[in-house]
Amino acid sequence: MAARVTVVTVGRPAAGPWRALAEDYGARIASFVPFSRRVVRPSRARGAPARRREETRALIDAVPARARIVALDAGGRPFDTPAFGRAVASWIAGDGLAFLVGGPDGIDGDSLAEAAGARPVDRLALGPMTLSHDLALIVLLEQVYRALAGARNHPYARH
């Protein structure tokens, strides 16, 4: 079986164009590899640090066993498109790949490291600008699709 790609998010995109785009790119990714989206509930904790911890633990709990974890994090490693394509090819070669998209407060690094245990964890920055939660998800899905398309010499990767 081909390696699986899972995207785990805090909440789901609002109905309308955001959700339609997420579903479209999810279907495109699924044309190349098994793909799933998992959603965890936003935390109701009062403070941002507590919300980050609670949501990060929920995100990790939703990751398939043995999958490599790549967390979207403003402090993570930025990639250009070709480098991201190579990284996805490397990451997906193992027991699956899980991208984590935190809520508006982000991901708690300490909870991520603790909850991930021995699994490899990478941190990915989409860029230096702040993106809305829904837009970050769309950018991630589009870039994953572009990386998979490029690996198969699909014409999408060239435009």
Q: The domain spanning residue 119 has which CATH number?
A: 3.40.1280.10
Q: Provide the pLDDT for residue 2.
A: 58
**SS3 of residue 123 by DSSP:** strand
Q: Provide the pLDDT for residue 1.
A: 41
Say if CB 101 and CB 26 are below 8 A apart: no
Answer yes or no: is pLDDT of 98 > 80: yes
Among 44, 72, 77, 84, CA closest to 133: 72
Among 72, 49, 46, 66, CA closest to 4: 66
Per-residue pLDDT band for 84 (boundaries 50, 70, 90) equals very high
Q: What is the 3-state secondary structure (H, E, C) of 62-104?
A: CCCCCCEEEEEEEEEEECCHHHHHHHHHHHHCCCCEEEEECEC
Number of folded domains that form the chain: 1
Per-residue pLDDT band for 147 (boundaries 50, 70, 90) equals very high
pLDDT digits (tens, 9 = 90+) for 103-142: 988 899 888 888 777 777 889 999 888 888 889 999 999 9
Radius of gyration of the chain (CA): 15
pLDDT digits (tens, 9 = 90+) for 18-72: 999 999 999 999 999 999 999 999 999 999 999 999 999 999 999 988 889 999 9
40: containing domain: 5-158
Q: Provide the pLDDT for residue 159.
A: 63
